[in-house]
Homo-oligomer: A and B are copies of this chain.
């Protein structure tokens, strides 16, 4: 069962995507404007349930690759995504039938709507992460043996390339080097798959969920309530802490926005301190003693403690109050194969993964 998305829905989709984006995926405001412009010009987009897709259909995710810090300064001109898609179509020698949203996240859950509007193609309801992750092999598609290659990249200057790598990890390495040289961000089309593969690999329902979460954030704010409690109820998550940023260190290297924020507790967390690590996305929250409170792949979602809007890593700044919410990752990510791909060890943390329910037994699910 699908649905239709028009320009007016993009407000909610950008908000919900930014919440599930765990700090990554870029500025939702920019993504919203891009998608709204395309939807206003070309009309609404159809979101299709993958169950209704023919097995031999050609389905392709389109997204932005690079550091969100770069994306804030270097907006896509709107041609790159179309260029990446046509480069891939020309290489495959076939037209694409359905677009896919690769992750939940500010820009990357809105750009596919802009491309879908401009091309007239439907979008599948689902994504490859159920959240955002920093590297391109970190998708459920990899767990289902779907190849990232051939992959097309396009930049703002008119350069394009096609990669054909031996593994999804190699596709990431080669594409990342290309993205850096292209100026830190590129629009890409990758993981071309059949409808049958999409039925296997897609994490279903993500776009519908994103819209619902975004509508909930808007409604709670309208009612002068902080949206945190409603989101925790809807997603089966938990409150991690309320705290203020007192130090932030960041660097954009190797095509990623990396860094660490030191937080001081507020309200019921008065007197406590926390550190929050990120590589494009929030990956690890520790308390003042270095004990982990939430670890990738579980979701660490940040809301502004006052206004309740989602906060992305590049917007972190001294003095900002955050309400951090933990959500359990999709069960695929908590499997052995999933943890190999996106667990704490992959990112260099010495903590073994433990579910956030185990790490925080006292936190009741409000």
Q: Are B91 and A164 in contact (CB under 8 A)?
A: no
Contacts of A158 in B (CB 8 A): 166
Q: Are A161 and B174 in contact (CB under 8 A)?
A: yes
Contact flag A174-B178 (CB < 8 Å), given A87-B164, A159-B165? yes
B-facing mask of A140-165, CB < 8 A → 1, else 0?
Answer: 00000000000000000111111111
Q: Are A174 and B164 in contact (CB under 8 A)?
A: no
Contacts of A178 in B (CB 8 A): 174, 177-178
Q: How far is the CB of A255 from chain B (nearest CB, A)?
A: 10
Is A170 an interface residue, CB under 8 A from the partner? yes
Q: How far is the CB of A136 from chain B (nearest CB, A)?
A: 14
* Contact residues, A74-94 vs B (CB, 8 A): 87, 91
Is A55 an interface residue, CB under 8 A from the partner? no
Q: Are A174 and B182 in contact (CB under 8 A)?
A: yes
Is A5 an interface residue, CB under 8 A from the partner? no
User: CB < 8 Å: which of B87, B160, B170, B180 contacts A159?
Assistant: B170
Q: How far is the CB of A219 from chain B (nearest CB, A)?
A: 46
- A178 CA / B163 CA spacing, docked (Å): 10
Is A181 an interface residue, CB under 8 A from the partner? yes
Is A173 an interface residue, CB under 8 A from the partner? yes
B-facing mask of A57-87, CB < 8 A → 1, else 0?
Answer: 0000000000000000000000000000001
Find the B residue at minimum CB distance from A163. Answer: B161
- A21 CA / B325 CA spacing, docked (Å): 62
- A64 CA / B359 CA spacing, docked (Å): 53
Q: Are B164 and A161 in contact (CB under 8 A)?
A: yes
User: CB < 8 Å: which of B157, B161, B177 contacts A162?
Assistant: B161
Contacts of A159 in B (CB 8 A): 163-166, 170, 174
Contacts of A165 in B (CB 8 A): 159, 161
Find the B residue at minimum CB distance from A162. Answer: B162
* Contact residues, A175-232 vs B (CB, 8 A): 176-178, 180-182
Contacts of A87 in B (CB 8 A): 164
- A164 CA / B160 CA spacing, docked (Å): 5
Contacts of A161 in B (CB 8 A): 161-165, 174
Can you report 30 A-B residue pairs in the complex whose CB atoms are below 8 A from each other?
A87-B164, A91-B91, A157-B166, A157-B170, A158-B166, A159-B163, A159-B164, A159-B165, A159-B166, A159-B170, A159-B174, A160-B163, A160-B164, A161-B161, A161-B162, A161-B163, A161-B164, A161-B165, A161-B174, A162-B162, A162-B164, A173-B181, A174-B178, A174-B181, A174-B182, A176-B181, A177-B177, A177-B178, A177-B180, A177-B181
Given A161-B161, A176-B181; 14 other pairs, CB 8 A cutoff: A91-B91, A91-B162, A159-B163, A159-B164, A159-B170, A160-B163, A160-B164, A161-B162, A161-B164, A161-B165, A162-B164, A174-B182, A177-B178, A177-B181
Top 8 A-B pairs, shortest CB-CB distance: A177-B181, A162-B162, A177-B177, A158-B166, A159-B165, A161-B163, A160-B164, A173-B181
